[in-house]
Amino acid sequence: MEGYCVKEKMKREIVDPKEVVLKNGRHAVQGTCAVCGTKMTRFVKKSS
């Protein structure tokens, strides 16, 4: 899965993605940047 790395200001591959539900109820995928290791979050629609 690909997401936006805020540290590098580029789209990068998300390593070890995990689907989570945030406090406000939104669904997201969280993981780390493949290049710099920064935590990344990508909002997604609820999967069935």
- The pLDDT assigned to 46 comes to 81
Residue 39: pLDDT over 90: yes
Q: Is the pLDDT of residue 48 over 80?
A: no
Residue-wise pLDDT tens digits, 15-30: 999 999 999 999 999 9
Mean pLDDT score of the chain: 93
CA 40 – CA 13 distance, rounded (Å): 10
Domain residue ranges in the chain: 2-43
Q: CA 25 → CA 1, 34, 41, 43, 46, distances in Å? A: 21, 27, 14, 11, 10
Q: Tell me the average pLDDT across 33-40.
A: 95
Is 13 a residue whose pLDDT tops 90?
A: yes
37 three-class SS: coil
Sign of the Cα torsion 10, 4, 17, 36 reads positive
| pLDDT of the residue at 32 | 97
Dihedral, CA of residue 28, residue 18, residue 24 and residue 40, to nearest 10: -60
